[in-house]
Structure 1
Amino acid sequence: MPSVHLADRGVVRVSGEDAKTFLDNLITCDLGRVSLHTARFGALLTPQGKILFDFIVFQAPDEIGGGYYLDVLKVFAPDLAKRLGFYKLRAKVTVEDMSDAMAVVAGWVDPKPDDEVGLVSEDPRLPELGWRAIIAAQDAAEFAGEEAQHYHVRRIALGVPEGGRDFLFGDAFPHEALMDQLHGVDFDKGCYVGQEVVSRMQHRGTARTRIVPAVYEGGFAADVGVEVTAGDKALGTTGTGINGRGLIMIRLDRATDALAAGHVIRAGGIPVTLEKPSWIGFPFPGEVATGTEAGHG
């Protein structure tokens, strides 16, 4: 079956009788929507509303100690555990970096594996991404049927960004990283760190910068962090790219103006065409110029 061991992902566990309330008061997603079979995409933000860490939250059954397991970029797992520890105060919770003992795997096409494998869920961001699971590290080889690059080819083709790859932590708002489109922010939940800024951006529609998918001319892709331009104006920077497709973070208004003026958008000097996935609901560059809006929220 098409599945991969995402060796660059780590796991942080938050357990204890106050674990749910503790996490719910900190992160963007509503833990009331997390269950034993349903994970949730979320993030921990700065008080100014920028993403410090993005992750997928799984709930563990009581027979293995309960609590929540956060699937996060492995190099940032120690920092996430430390940051959560800062907020602990008198809460009855334990925060542990479990990255050495646990592994993250993902798969698509075939149905998700049974719960006996570990903590398993459909990918909460987008159904087309398939399923995702946290399992014992010693079992990861069983799911290493494909190279991890195959997963990222699929992710990029679907237009789904990841923190630490397509944007810098501490530098992007959830809307810029498409978390509002990928079910990473529950706008009807209570307060959490950075909530006021994110809610204001949602209600006022002030997200001018977004990550969008792009198709590169010639089948190549620019390196990460290269300038995106149109005419003599800078629009933004590139994220990850593979096989002629990539993700770029750009100013939507500048891209719209450039296209209306007939300018070619270039990433690292390579012409690119912006491509709107069906799941994106905000007005896309080119649509505003023609007065149309497509997609769904």
Structure 2
Amino acid sequence: MQSMTGSGAEVDGIQGELESARRRIAELEREIADVAAKEARLRGLVSASPIVIYTCKPSGDYGVTYMSENVCRFFGYTAEDFTSDSSFWAERVHPDDMDRVFRSLEKLSEHDYTKHEYRFKHKDGRWRWVHDDVALSRDASGNAIECVGFWQDVDERRSAEELIRRQSESLREMSTPLVPISEHVVAMPLIGLMDSHRAQQVLSTLLDGIGRTGARVAIIDITGVALVDTYVASALIRSAKAAQLMGARVVITGIRPEVAQMLVSLQVDLAGIVTSGTLQAGIAVAQSMARAGAAEGARPA
């Protein structure tokens, strides 16, 4: 009886262990299913995200070791394209941006973070701008392990910025025109505010126009300049002096009473520069000066 009892207890023990193993297997299966569901959700979130996540080597060619699958949506390549070829990423950075990007990456060890924007070649051959945030990951001993990066396609934003820049440049050019008045007289009516860029543009446009037309007299009309301060006055005088070096006389028109007082108080040197209250009067003076210059040039030596 003791033998049979012992044998039964042993069987019961085995059955108990089997049941416990079944429960543990069921728990593990639920945990695996839960992890798989979370991974699927994470992949779905990353896939829908406008951010491409990657890891890469912390030095050398910075070859990609992981790339999120949503990279295909933005650049046409698969994640495996990047991870299977260590030089794949570097070979598709725009040649004009390459040195700047690698110099930025080489400074990672200083602050463990850098960011830059550069052009990356889409699979269809187009160049697209990307914003790249890169963080350096280190182990407990402080050794660099890998770089973790976040890519964002910013091509539309860069295109919009370029469009705005071109439009602003066009507006500046429109507000700094050089108008031919006669064969030897040109006029530049200025409108709006003057800053350092605008002042340089005035000077360049004026000198280019004088050189191109051979003008003897250049009129700079400041009637439409909203504010004439020390900086503006200095810029006008520099432009006038530069024009004189090219053999042209300068007439500044549109000088309001308060501007005249300011020029006097600043003791601005107007030697060789003719001034006039209105553009109409300045044109008459400029044409007279041009005729006088032509007659003088025609006299026999």
Pick the TM interval, shorter chain. under 0.3
Q: Who wins on radius of gyration, i.e. which is larger?
A: 2
Relative contact order higher in (CA < 8 Å, ≥ 6 apart): 1
Q: TM-score, normalised by structure 2?
A: 0.19
Q: Which has the higher strand share?
A: 1
Q: TM-score, normalised by structure 1?
A: 0.19
Q: Which has the higher helix share?
A: 2
